[in-house]
Structure 1
């Protein structure tokens, strides 16, 4: 039976915006259909960057807008579009951003969602260049096979509120535990929306993995997520566990320069800089497991890569994680077990390491990447094998159990 959440309510609790945007083009999100793209195409909804405004720019169809804007409707109905999520999983919240659309924004909207099997989807015609266009009869016929008007409502019809011209976010908290693969944005009756952010966590069928091959247990697409960090001057740490290779520095995590750097830098006999302090990010694994290989990629970070890094792991229950978040991850050092000791890094390079000896390869649920003294990292991969331990709240359903690959042990 479908897990039907309560109607989406305008939210002030915005912690979910620290999660990944599952619809973003950066993680493979794709617009499959829109009823109308006259002034600006629906593909703008899933751009990874923030919306912008060009005051004096016009196209042959009207004012240039950085969002999805339909024509002023002169026939019955309303406008809507369908987006395939790049990361499929649990949706925690939406941001319907109408920045720069004052005077021509959509007055109301609703959001529906579905969990569809890819191999059973009908063939949808490619969209191509859409500005100035409305959906063709062929496109309408193809999308009708999805029966999207019957999808579950995550947000009921709600009035959109404008804020300042450059910052008009409408946040909605979602309580569903269901996995979703597609969303449908309805606007009533027409108008513009700058961005649609679909925040959540990835979800993977762990029964389908090859138990003989290591898997990236921290991957954001499988459910890994950053749950704390010291500094994010440019780029959220969630970027480093993102999909595929980084596309630029903007697709990584970069901290500000630490102000406690000594006036004159020195290093030790191993070439490691002697600098107090570090920056860090803590990640909850997509599934508890044993880490056997670590990759730290500094691609694109040439003059701002970290001098060195280390990786540690620990085991935390859900309640302990909540407590640590409240304490800003200030807990005893002995909680952490070393996965990778302090290791020198190089610019613009992927570094692959085997984790430590078998005696130290224990099951972990959380990992901490520390970079010394500061700088940027494009990707972190923690490859290994899912374990059988389950650390859920009593009210949660237990996860399926798995065995650790032979040769590794757990002390739990």
Structure 2
């Protein structure tokens, strides 16, 4: 079948953007402390939605901004906040987004990382606009010793929030599990969003070999490694928490331009089309998939006509080769043959539909001809370490 060439990636767009946002409020990320939130609360940093600007919007404290903005500092020090990741894991890159902060963005930023055994018993509640940290909050957060956490990002200059320069991308080289971040503004100002791209890490030693788990879930370490098209929504959305909130919370492609002028179907009612779209995921742990859920929730007039799923068992070296070749690998084996899909529906497939029951490390979801899928669940059992290919065995989690 023919495959459409993906749009060229811009030179300024790093590879880590296809990983999961471990800090997003949609996966449970939250701000548990902030020194100052006079103009806009720090919780805005973790919103799923892109920042917006409303010229006429003001509060009693000043201009309303869709981000975190502190007052102009007139005392010693700098502003900072503590973020609890929704999904602990390893971080590969960060986007400090200053959208719309054009005369009031923070000029410099640094980020520190912590791995805490116990979750702090304090948090921030309600609308914090116009507020600052109390003495009791300062005393509680001081016990974390966050000023001594190792740096993910050293003090770095930020660009203002104009559309052509608002994304401040920072690649991270930090081979440790992270549960919390300390975001430092130097000395004050505003930041619209903080995106923390990485891969979740789960302690698989606590998982029974007889326990069925969603092997591709972002909370279990699943991650998207490639796709053909993501015009309306990224494939990583499919491995998010719960059911999709709306269509934007799923994977949706553009309409393929190679569709026949007159559509025909086979005996099963599946469209006969030349093209298809795909997304590849690495499982959080090598395992044997026993059941599958393909959910087209919210996709009522733009669901795919059909889908199929392939699997393979790869070493890290083979994975790197497949990424370079855009996943045109001869190692793919069919797990789920083509299945007719329906709108706004949870499709469940079990042993009767699956054709393989061997260990896999990677999966490829193929949809034809195009459309949207809100969630992909791959239920199965983690394979013992001896069943994983060399160098693909899950490493012990490195703590700080």
How far has the Cα of 1:137 moved from its partner?
1.6
Q: Distance in 1 between matches of 2:301 and 2:165?
A: 33
Aligned position for 2:279: 281
Calculate the TM-score normalised by the size of structure 1: 0.89
How far has the Cα of 1:165 moved from its partner?
4.6
Alignment of 1:225-374 (within 5 A): 225-332=223-330, 335-355=331-351, 360-374=356-370
- Deviations 1:1-51 (Å, cap 9, x if unpaired)? xxxxxxxxxx96711111111111111111101111100000111111221
Return 377-386 or 121-130, whichever deviates more: 121-130
How far has the Cα of 1:198 moved from its partner?
0.7
8 A Cα contact 1:296 1:350, kept in partner:
yes
- Deviations 1:128-157 (Å, cap 9, x if unpaired)? 210011111222222222221121111112
- Deviations 1:101-143 (Å, cap 9, x if unpaired)? 12111111110111112xx334215422100111112222222
**C-alpha spacing 1:142/1:167, structure 2 compared with 1 (3 Å):** same
Q: Distance in 2 between matches of 1:16 and 1:231?
A: 17
8 A Cα contact 2:334 2:355, kept in partner:
no
Aligned position for 2:112: 112
Any idea what SS the aligned residue of 2:136 has? helix
8 A Cα contact 1:125 1:142, kept in partner:
no
- The answer to whether residue 38 in structure 2 is matched with residue 61 in structure 1 is no
Any idea what SS the aligned residue of 2:147 has? helix
8 A Cα contact 2:252 2:371, kept in partner:
yes
Aligned position for 1:390: 388
- Unaligned stretches of 5+ residues in structure 1: 1-10, 401-412
Report how many residues are paired. 384
**C-alpha spacing 1:358/1:49, structure 2 compared with 1 (3 Å):** closer
Aligned position for 1:404: none
Q: Distance in 2 between matches of 1:13 and 1:372?
A: 28
Any idea what SS the aligned residue of 1:221 has? helix
Any idea what SS the aligned residue of 2:319 has? helix
Q: Distance in 1 between matches of 2:256 and 2:146?
A: 50
RMSD value, Cα: 1.9
Alignment counterpart, residue 132 of structure 1, candidates 127, 130, 133: 130
Aligned position for 1:102: 102
8 A Cα contact 1:125 1:139, kept in partner:
no
- Deviations 1:299-335 (Å, cap 9, x if unpaired)? 1111111111111101111111111111112233xx2
Q: Distance in 2 between matches of 1:38 and 1:164?
A: 23
8 A Cα contact 1:390 1:399, kept in partner:
no
- The answer to whether residue 21 in structure 2 is matched with residue 25 in structure 1 is no
Aligned position for 2:3: none
**C-alpha spacing 1:383/1:356, structure 2 compared with 1 (3 Å):** same
How far has the Cα of 1:391 moved from its partner?
3.7
Q: Distance in 2 between matches of 1:103 and 1:345?
A: 50
Q: Distance in 2 between matches of 1:357 and 1:58?
A: 57
Aligned position for 1:410: none
